[in-house]
Amino acid sequence: MPGHFEPLPGGGAAVALDDVEISIIRSLAVQLLELIGPGPSADTPEDPLAELFAEGPSEPPSDPVLKRLFPDAYRDPESEPDSPLEAEERRQHSAEFRRFTENDLRAGKRENALAVIRSLDALGSPGDGNVVLELDPGEVRRWLGALNDLRLAISTRLDITGEDDTDVLYGLPDDDPRKPLVMAYLWLGGLQETLVTTLMP
């Protein structure tokens, strides 16, 4: 179990983590939360109808990581627009889509990151050994969402766009300042992959 998730009888998954691993995942999840931004303030009136029709931003975020987490819906990297008119139409459609979906997307990503933090906080400190984190099926999906977002964020900071970039990063010397982030990226990928396998019949 150390270093990878295993399925639990009846659904869910478990992994053994040590103090350092817990600290790394928690710190990254907190940073992701800070990047995504806060939710509605405590004094916001609880009006489900108003919340349903609340409009979000219409322009893409300026931060590259947020652009990756909240991409334009009508942008096709494989197909450039045929004319300035088509480009403007795509921009308008993307803005409209973003205005009515980004708030919900942010809320979902925020909840996933919070679920990770809460489940880690509930473990307490394992001291010098490992402690077993057990996730129910709902928590598994939250963790998968958060792990995916964390890897997207890290890959954007590392300028990873394809397999060739990943291969180069494998060979970085230990004194390269990117090395800790690369190691976190690869480790989270392993966790994510084994967590996915726990959902397979």
The residues, ordered by sequence, that sit 6+ positions from 60 with a Cβ below 8 Å of its Cβ are 67, 70, 71, 72, 94, 98
Q: Is residue 1 part of a domain?
A: no
CB-based contact 131:16 (threshold 8 Å): yes
Q: Is residue 137 part of a domain?
A: yes
Nearest 5°: CA angle at 41, between 35 and 43? 175
Q: Is residue 149 part of a domain?
A: yes
Residue reference for tokens 């800790």: 180
pTM: 0.81
Q: Is residue 180 part of a domain?
A: yes
Nearest 5°: CA angle at 25, between 129 and 132? 35
pLDDT in tens, 17-27: 999 999 999 99
Quickly state the pLDDT bin for 60 (edges 50, 70, 90).
Answer: confident
pLDDT in tens, 167-187: 788 788 889 998 999 999 999
- Range with the lowest mean pLDDT among 54-58, 90-94, 106-110? 54-58
Range of the domain at 27: 8-197
pLDDT in tens, 65-107: 988 998 887 665 556 656 777 767 766 777 777 777 788 889 9
Domain count, the chain: 1
